[in-house]
Structure 1
């Protein structure tokens, strides 16, 4: 294997995966490969298993079948601190600790590197400062988390997982509660983390146009499995979107950016 091939090896690899709850699968036979420097976006209708797949990949839910490895090691065999050094996960929503300030919350993201009672190092301080800055959360550093708006709170949580400085980043609907400007700012951060820091990113999104603009690979999930996976040009076609969502759309290319955009067809046009 060449050095270039080795750099493109998946950091996180799921094979033959069945995921679900109480022994009942919602997805079967799913594969997922997150590679350094690339953003993989998971899309699909509500309840199709996107979040369950991401939580299984993060080691929070045991798979019903199949395997998940992080840098070649089974996720199931890693203790929480070791796993947190290699993989950071942001859920859809998190409990808001009463009285905790944003900077304090973000410092908790360094736990896997220093332990519960060790003193902060210069490296910890640099990681926290960087995470606050790239998420536009530095002005919030001394504010209490329970006093923030939903969008501000989401940026604080994103900064917390970024402070882990992990090689794999899993984000479950990271644009929730954000206005349009901050949605794109967060996704810009994700692209920059992949491109500049070689982080392997897996992101659940609902907006297909945003998925097309920011993904290197789109994984479309529906009906208990993978409908298709590949670059946006091949994964987000009108046929695939209709199969997964039951929706007739027109997929057009923006002449300025070259990105795809999806537009629902009026009922009269869809029936033709």
Structure 2
């Protein structure tokens, strides 16, 4: 990948989109992960106002530290970058307290994890509306179009997606080129939605490198003599892709036949 050209292309695309839509800049949720670090840096490089939001909900201290360090680095480099911290923990706990009591289960845990993501989306859009900004998404190609690894109307609720045509490995290439802190580059990817130490790989059952391979293999098979692990990964990818089509496809609309309108 011609990393320098890709970076210039994305920055130019972001700037053109914002100017054509007559918006003032961008707001991004910064989590301490690689995707949000790259996205926020690309937005900052446009020269347009870039608001980085921290939105912890029982967040792991290491994630908070990485996010804060990245934001401080950005503010030192770019005068157009500002930041705010909105602690959503109390609101999340109040929400849980208002819900009917149900037994603990994996489904309940997942539902609450998705709720965290949706609280953050609402917060991003509050500030976007307040300042006339665009909400910049942080999803990469494997997550957004391969396995659907995001929350519908949560981190999937954005105005534009600057890195959604980049594989995870390409995001890392850009991170290195941009000088993103080593601590972020080396951290195990995690959505941080469960309040524990589980990583993306723990949830997905495969690494991003494996899923990238599976995505390419599924779209354009180039090898027939797959080993056991490759068969497993391909099945993991296909199951996730199939299960999450409801996120990646347009919302179904019940169309009324013209004959019924006469």
Structure 2 length as normaliser, TM-score?
0.30
Q: More helix by proportion, 1 or 2?
A: 2
The higher-RCO structure (CA 8 Å, 6+ apart) is: 1
Q: More strand by proportion, 1 or 2?
A: 1
Structure 1 length as normaliser, TM-score?
0.29
